[in-house]
Structure 1
Amino acid sequence: MPRTAYVNGRYLSHAKAAVHIEDRGYQFADGVYEVVPVHNGILVDESLHLDRLERSLGELRIAMPMRREALKLISREVMRRNHLSNGFLYLQITRGVAPRDHKFPVAAKPAVVMTVRQMKPASKEKLEAGVSVITVPDIRWARRDIKSVSLLPNCLAKQQAHEAGALEAWMVDGEGQVTEGTSTNAWIITQDNVLVTRNANQDILNGITRVALLERVAEEGVTFEERSFTVEEALSAKEAFITSSTNYVMPVTAIDGKAVGNGHPGLLTMKLREAYVSYIESAGAGRAKTAA
């Protein structure tokens, strides 16, 4: 089935969709993006994603290109034209097109792109085996809380993980503390059954799945600490997992080739995954369904 994209006011064939060569997102990575999961035709936590989008734009001093309701209408039309039921919506906003100059252009109009992609849920085999991660130095800029399209360090680390046969790379700061994955948040469960993930500040992106899962953690009565942890602490943990809009809650069973716990997905990890999946299948996800 042909795919359709939205580019600056037009619905175009995905194969022919393009932006101007002087779009500042292309030349300077001067823009932000959001990835919104779609589950059974539902945009999951749409309001939280739009909140983060507005915050990221504000931090870069880029104006919202249109009202929220307009963005919502466009997203539903893109979903409808692509018959999307399960997958994700990708939304990117840049500062716009202007002659190449490091300074902000005076009159550039923010550029908007939306695409969608079908995605199958994680396989039973993947969930039963868990996934592996490697650790790499965190070489990114100091404002990781902004969901910027500037992702080259993340891409380099993700490629390194792929070449090592791992799903993800956990980035480690200069003090030996894990910050986050290239496209995920990192979590461990200690031998005392304490759930730990790094506190949300400028060192990490505060994932929407992370936010939603923390609410489930409170409901489940799980002991939780929001703090950094070292690679050594992760290797000695009872369980570990990653979260993201495309992975939900995914068990990690090996770090740098060494087994986590007994080398199998942990009971608490899978319990939290079930709680999150139940959440996104319920009205609690703040769901917004595409028009038929």
Structure 2
Amino acid sequence: MNNLHVWKISSSPGCESLELPDLSSLDSVSRQLPEGLYSTFRTYGRCARALDLKHHLGRLYLPAAERGVEPSVSARELREALAGLLEAYRPGEARVRISLSLAESPGQVFAMIEPLKMLDETVYQRGVRVATFHTERANPRIKSTSFIQKSDQERKSLAQSGIFEGLIVQNRRIYEGLTSNFYAVRSGALVTAQNGILLGVTRRIVLRQARKFGLKIEYRPLPVDELPGVDEAFITSSSRGLVPVVELDGKPVGEGHPGLWTKRLITAYAGYVEQKSEPIRP
């Protein structure tokens, strides 16, 4: 299996395969579905396991409950459905996006699955280029598909320029990436925003590992003016893990290669995933 598939999921009749005009990417599919909530994650263990799946499901089910929206399928039923759908993607791994409509047919749950395309190992060894730009989320704590549409032009522009990720700047402070959380190591401390961002699943794990190593954490958005003093930087996401940043806005970060703290946290995160990923089937 080498392409993306989409399903509408309900308690009854179950999983209904959808045919959409554009199946080129998860984002293109999300733009064709009703506006709502979503979360994206990758599988482990030959499509049998995921990391902190409860938190990913909570991104849909908790805000829906707050709005009085009843999902078309329970969290447990969704896990069962995903486990069944993922069998076709074995023995490889998959990238999964789940979404819940808040507009047309409120509460309808959708699942999108594609084979996982791993980043080349050189990305983690050499690092990536990122760039800052100005935008904002209507509600940073909510992962809404409306932001995919809003930021579509910025994503395309960055990709055409060979930029791996765009970093959101407000009031000359770096908050987060378009699809990631952002961190900088400066003067022996790990600097990362706490407010005004989406609190990523991978972020929580990385911060826990950093504390175990005794690395001081400063919860604040990084002022652009402090960039010359940054020793290391990296971004995190559920699908990509921890990715070193070696160039920001055309200027090298630190010495221009992944730093020691970044490498140490990459290793720690990989070990955590190996131990803590959980079965998708409940």
TM-score per shorter chain, which class?
A: 0.7 to 0.9
Is 1:243–1:250's contact at 8 Å kept on the other side of the alignment?
yes
Using structure 2 for the length normalisation, give the TM-score. Answer: 0.85
The more displaced of 42-51 and 264-273 is: 42-51
Q: CA deviation at 1:288?
A: 1.2
- Equivalent position of 1:70 in the other structure: 77
Q: 2:39 aligns with which of 34, 37, 47?
A: 34
Is 1:171–1:180's contact at 8 Å kept on the other side of the alignment?
yes
Q: Hey, what's the Cα distance between the residues in 2 that align with 1:144 and 1:61?
A: 21
Is 1:235–1:255's contact at 8 Å kept on the other side of the alignment?
no
Computed over aligned residues only, the root mean square deviation of the Cα atoms, in angstroms, reads: 2.4
- Specify the code of the residue in structure 2 equivalent to 1:145: R
Deviations 1:150-176 (A, max 9, x none): 123332222222122210111101x21
Q: CA deviation at 1:228?
A: 1.3
Q: Hey, what's the Cα distance between the residues in 2 that align with 1:162 and 1:38?
A: 25
Is 2:8–2:17's contact at 8 Å kept on the other side of the alignment?
no
Q: 1:48 aligns with which of 38, 50, 55?
A: 55
- Specify the code of the residue in structure 1 equivalent to 2:8: V
Is 1:5–1:11's contact at 8 Å kept on the other side of the alignment?
no
Using structure 1 for the length normalisation, give the TM-score. Answer: 0.83
Closer/same/farther in 2, CA of residues 109 and 56 from structure 1, 3 Å limit: closer
- Equivalent position of 2:25 in the other structure: none
Q: CA deviation at 1:247?
A: 1.6
Can you give the 5+ residue segments of structure 2 that lack an aligned partner in the other structure? 22-29
Q: Hey, what's the Cα distance between the residues in 2 that align with 1:66 and 1:231?
A: 44
How many residue pairs get aligned? The number is: 267
- Specify the code of the residue in structure 1 equivalent to 2:237: S
Matches within 5 A, 1:1-150: 1=1, 4-9=5-10, 10-11=14-15, 16=19, 30-40=35-45, 41=47, 42-58=49-65, 60-83=67-90, 85-95=92-102, 97=104, 108-138=105-135, 140-150=136-146
Deviations 1:255-283 (A, max 9, x none): 0110000000111001101111111111x
Please say if 1:260 is aligned against 2:253.
yes
Runs of 4+ in 1 over 6 A off after TM superposition: 25-28
Is 2:129–2:164's contact at 8 Å kept on the other side of the alignment?
yes
- Equivalent position of 1:22 in the other structure: none
Q: What is the aligned-residue identity percentage?
A: 26
Q: 1:193 aligns with which of 188, 212, 218?
A: 188
Please say if 1:169 is aligned against 2:166.
yes
Q: CA deviation at 1:13?
A: 5.3
Is 2:15–2:81's contact at 8 Å kept on the other side of the alignment?
no
Partner SS, residue 131 of structure 2 = strand
Q: Hey, what's the Cα distance between the residues in 2 that align with 1:194 and 1:238?
A: 10
Deviations 1:140-198 (A, max 9, x none): 3431210100123332222222122210111101x2111111101110000x2200110
